[in-house]
Structure 1
Amino acid sequence: MSSTETVEHPAKRQKMEHSDKVIGTHNGTFHCDEALAVFLLRKTQAYKSADLVRTRDPAVLETCSIVVDVGGVYDEQKQRFDHHQRGFTEVFGHGFETKLSSAGLVYKHFGQEIVANRLDVPTEDPKVDTLWLKMYKEFIEAIDGNDNGVSQYPTDIRPLYRSRTDISARVGHLNPAWNQPFDSQTVDAQFLKGSALVGEEFLGRLDYYANAWLPARDLVSAALLKRTEVDASGKIILFEQFAPWKEHLFELESETAVKDGEKPIYVIYPDETGGNWRIQAVPVSPESFESRKALPEPWRGIRDDNLSKLSGVDGCIFVHASGFIGGNATKEGALKMAKLALEM
């Protein structure tokens, strides 16, 4: 038997003969992209009970219902999803330009169904597209780039340290070492471990975005729409409960085409304990330490009664030395600080 073929036990062949669908991928050393692709396919209606064959034998692959990461063909109608062939340039679209791996290909064509199934909502639900794109940006694209050898940075910047704990590396480390047994039964078993590892991490991330990230986005969207009710200038946003807001605010400003002169300057929210309130200056970008307008310089580094006397606002707790954040004992006090800061 050729070294490229997977050894199939009689029981496995019997199971295949009675299965409606079979997923095919290559045998031997495995990577994160096909491990995830197989996991994702089993989260679809069509392939949820499909068997798996790992082989490079074209005759065997021809009998499979769907083939990923091998075969030299990308054809949705034929259910063939390889990305190694000459001339393959497929990308996800929607602003993403990284060349797809088998994970990205499967996610591009089946991702909306997978997200909808996980949320138990119709694919037409607006949340589905939002999360489909979010998961590609935050999870799938890095796997595509890693597998295709796409540099994360446009120049050959030398990193100060190595990081090899990303999901692609962790799946890769499940392959047997060069001096360990590499028989097909061992490698196939390790492949299933890798598929489960990356798949469960995918689902965990999707659950977070569906159950925490998306509700926070809804809160930010509502507060952005109501900001003129807080202050006529529209430059103060008020949250009645703490939630992560920076990323959402910048995305929503862009989506709703908020003009530069009308963008929020300060955000008011209760702290995580719910006991006190915070006033925070909106940064110039989500990752920036520079604020659109920092809190007034005379307040910076001053605390408690001294700050209350200086600002004329009761209940002051602090203003950070850089002016990016401050605190007050009450919502009314924090709001008053924000209004005064706008004028100064």
Structure 2
Amino acid sequence: MKKSLIALAVLAAAGSASAQSSVTLFGVVDATLAFGRGSVSNKTQLTNSGYNSSRLGFRGVEDLGGGMSASFWLEAGLANDDGQGAGTNANNQATGAGAAVAGRQGLTFNRRSTVSLSGGWGEMRLGRDFSPQFWNLTVFDPFGTNGVGTTQTLNSIITGVTAVRASNSIGYFLPANIGGFYGQAQYYLGENNSGAATSSDGKGYGIRVGYAAGPLNVAGAFSRTKYAAGNVHQNNIGGQYDFGVAKLQAHLSRDKNGAVTGKGWLIGGLFPIGAGEIRAAYSRYRTDAVVTEPTAKKFALGYVHNLSKRTALYTTYARVSNSGGSASFLNGAGGAANTSSTGYDFGIRHAF
């Protein structure tokens, strides 16, 4: 992704060396023509983020000397098909004054809004960020949890608000270059007043550790978020191996929301071909919410053709089969439980 750097004149005016600081403007605009077919109704729409999530962001860094640096990252999701912004969640809860999903008429920095301090000891990061428990689902998904091909271990997940991101978080990241090992820990707050049964709602933590060296990359994560109605646990492990002619990926997940347990897995791969790449995955997610154990199984196949380093055309086909009372449908289609649904994506992605 080509990045535009803008020198910070403010620091120069304050007597600091402007060359030591920079701000980067970056983004993705991804338009998708999406078709969904179900047993009850079909849907055709121009939507977004079929390959990469559409976004607009700003990030900056200041060299503090002695190996230390300070940085910020503000990243807003956007719906370029209609010009609206994306919603966010203020307190990691589905209800309450701070849980209102806002921003559909304007940009919110819902994807990430953090400030960091880094050094040889690692990075301390504060603000809204991806949760550690999400990373294995997206990194080890050939479709990167975007578009109709998104792994069913995320589409059917039962863990709620903190499945992908957490607000009010304090995170720590291990330093780079420690023999291939990497990891992060995150603690997040629900910010409720004390004295009520729900005072701990939205409070939780996540930890992820991994190892990446040569063609191998493996990682595991576990987390817990507190709610008076029942705590939420999200745990997974994933990995990939790059054979050169193909990159194989897989992950396993085991989640819990109160008394309900969900289990899932994915296996898939990325296969480079000329200026493009074939993507394929099979994923499954099952819960014990009822005795019939609702289960969704998805097969997805796609192709990405790179016109340049920043611009790509793509297409994806996916089909999900439901059983045991499951009712998962693709691209807005409608259907009855225990039936199947088919989806298609055709799109263009431009990054800057």
TM-score where L is the length of structure 1:
0.26
Higher Rg:
1
Q: Which has the higher strand share?
A: 2
Q: Which has the higher helix share?
A: 1
